[in-house]
Amino acid sequence: MEYLRRIQQFFKEVMGEFRKVNWPGRPVVINSTTVVLVVTVVIAFFLWVVDMGLARIVGVILK
């Protein structure tokens, strides 16, 4: 029975912590998502350009 009481206590504490969380609003989530997507696209483009440049350099060296 001690085991069940400890599990119950654990879930009560978890719910108490969830009530303390400051959940972001919809506009904050949308803005953060937009920033993440834009940064991901910019980094992907940069890595693509670097990869193409290095591929050409290696191609020239190997010829």
Q: How confident is the model at residue 3 (pLDDT cuts 50, 70, 90)?
A: confident
Q: Give me the residue label for tokens 């050409």.
A: 56
Domain ranges within the chain, ordered by starting residue: 2-62
CB under 8 Å to 24, separation ≥6 — which residues?
A: 32
Half-sphere exposure (Cβ direction) of 54: Cα atoms closer than 13 Å: 6
Read off the pLDDT of residues 9-55 as tens digits, 9 standing for 90 and up: 999 999 999 999 999 999 999 999 999 999 999 999 999 999 999 99
Query: Looking at residue 1, what is its pLDDT?
Result: 79
Residue 1 CA to residue 57 CA, distance in Å, equals 70
- Alpha helices by DSSP H, 1-63: 2-20, 26-62
Cα gap 36→7, rounded to integer Å: 38
